[in-house]
Amino acid sequence: MPTLPAFDVKTNINKSPHVVILGAGASRAAFPNGETSGKIIPLMNDIMDVIALKDIIESEGINADYSNFEALYDDLVTKNTNLEAVKEIDEKVYNYFSSMRLPPEPTLYDYLILSLRKKDIIASFNWDPFLAQAFRRNMHIVEPPRIVFLHGNVEIGVCIEHRQKGYISQRCGVCQKYLTKTKLLYPVKHKDYNSDPFILNEWEELRLQLNYAYILTIFGYSAPNTDVEAKKLMLEVWKKNSTLELAEVDIIDKKERAELEKTWEDFYHSHHYGIYKSIFNTFLFRFPRRSCEAFAMATLQCDPWHDNPFPKFKTLDELHRWLQPLIDEENEGKFSGVPCNREKGVREKGV
């Protein structure tokens, strides 16, 4: 028999975490035309062109298949073909991503941070700074979810000696030295997630939450062949989740349904999964800050709540004001399931 989630029928509060996994497709969906300065968010299948990495390969006289960056980089590293080229690629990728910035208006990443509570976690495979930047500019409104970076991140720094994690511009709270860059894990087939203390800790935090998660959302992560270890690390813990037979898996991706079902079939139980083209159609954005409660009410209580989807806002202040009734309920310790009011002049049509 499966274990019921940590759902309190008296308060309608579900303490089971919602786990969100982000891949490069999430950032491409957030900024399909590029970020503030126009930089395109690269995927593994076009990163050679977007960041102009071909110039490095050609200048080093390397004969390679430019259409497959993952295989190319794996060969350079594992065969020690040209360590100077590897170093140049690493630096060019880091510099490209580290210069990216969020625009001032609300973005998909702001909605994502505010759609979850402190019991939840977002685990990102992305090098770009958007999740960390959205976290930073919304954290004063309400305590945000945990965020971890499974392949490192250009916005995040670390003091290994004192186990401190923060923004790259910050100092360690113990030794007062500036935090150092996190190591970026690149697409090699056999990644070592244990040798780097920061990466190891990020994975341990994700795996802990997967043990108890009630909803798992996978957004824009394709589980590529060059990252078989990542899928294995997640699956071996997820399969031990005692609520797995009742839990939901939501997959957000533009690939064909049959392909996605094949990729993620080991993660979901029976028919307990959904495949979506847009994150706005998932429980996460239809019931912001209440996804696990809404799912429990619909499936366990047979008393579904009315949808409370995010409107599209022009400013962060408007978004924060719209969320305030939900935050007030959280402070009071009892959830009603009543949708937020839509103030005239605050929302736009066509989210």
Query: pLDDT averaged over the chain?
Result: 91
Spatial separation of the C-alpha atoms in residues 317 and 346, rounded to whole Å = 10
Q: Are 99 and 39 contacting, i.e. CB atoms less than 8 angstroms apart?
A: yes
Indicate if the pLDDT at residue 189 is higher than 90: no
- Output the pLDDT for position 64: 66
pLDDT for position 66: 63
Contact residues for 158 (Cβ-Cβ < 8 A; gap 6+): 164, 165, 166, 179, 180, 182, 198
- Coil vs helix vs strand at 57: helix
Say whether pLDDT at 8 is over 50: yes
Higher pLDDT, 341 or 194: 194
Q: pLDDT band for position 190 (50/70/90)?
A: confident
Banded pLDDT at 83 (limits 50, 70, 90) = confident
pLDDT in tens, 119-163: 999 999 999 999 999 999 999 999 999 999 999 999 999 999 999
Binned at pLDDT 50, 70 and 90, residue 259 comes out as very high
Confidence (pLDDT) at 177 = 94
What value does the mean pLDDT take over residues 50-59? 85
Specify the pTM: 0.94
- pLDDT for residue 345: 37
Residues 62-84 have a mean pLDDT of: 75
> What's the rounded Cα separation, in Å, for the pair 164 and 143?
19
Of 12-16, 29-33, 73-77, the range with the lowest mean pLDDT is 73-77
Query: Which of the four pLDDT bands, split at 50, 70 and 90, describes residue 59?
Result: confident
What is the share, in percent, of the chain residues with pLDDT greater than 70? 94
- Examine the pLDDT at 303 and tell me if it is beyond 80: yes
Maximum mean pLDDT: which of 82-86, 134-138, 183-187: 134-138
Given pLDDT bands bounded at 50, 70 and 90, which one contains residue 341?
confident
Mean pLDDT of 66-76: 77
* Neighbour-count burial of 88, counting CB atoms closer than 10 A to its CB (0-12 exposed, 13-18 middle, 19+ buried): middle
List where CATH 3.40.50.1220 sits in the chain. 7-34+101-332
Where residue 75 falls among pLDDT bands split at 50, 70, 90? confident
Q: Please give the span between the terminal C-alpha atoms of the chain, in angstroms, as a whole number.
A: 40
- The mean pLDDT value for 7-36 works out to 96
| Confidence (pLDDT) at 77 | 82
pLDDT computed for residue 225 by the predictor? 76
Checking if the pLDDT of 347 tops 50, the result is no
Q: Which residues contact 321 (CB under 8 A, 6 or more apart)?
A: 343, 346
Domain 7-34+101-332 bears CATH identifier 3.90.226.10: no
**Residues 125/23, Cβ–Cβ less than 8 Å:** yes
Q: Can you say how many angstroms the Cα of residue 265 is from the centroid of all Cα atoms in its chain? A: 20
- The answer on pLDDT for 11 being more than 70 is yes
Residue 144 Cα distances to 30, 177, 191, 210, 322, angstroms: 20, 26, 30, 18, 16
**What is the predicted pLDDT for the residue at 125?**
96
Question: What is the residue whose two structure tokens read 């990216």?
Answer: 100
Spatial neighbors of 209 by CB under 8 A, at least 6 apart, are 17, 19, 120, 121, 146
Query: Order of strands, edge to edge, in the sheet holding 273-276?
Result: 146-149, 121-124, 18-22, 215-219, 248-252, 273-276
The answer to whether residue 348 scores a pLDDT higher than 50 is no
Q: Looking at residues 57-68, what average pLDDT do you find?
A: 71
Average pLDDT (278-306) is: 97
Q: What percent of the chain has pLDDT over 90?
A: 77
pLDDT for position 185: 87
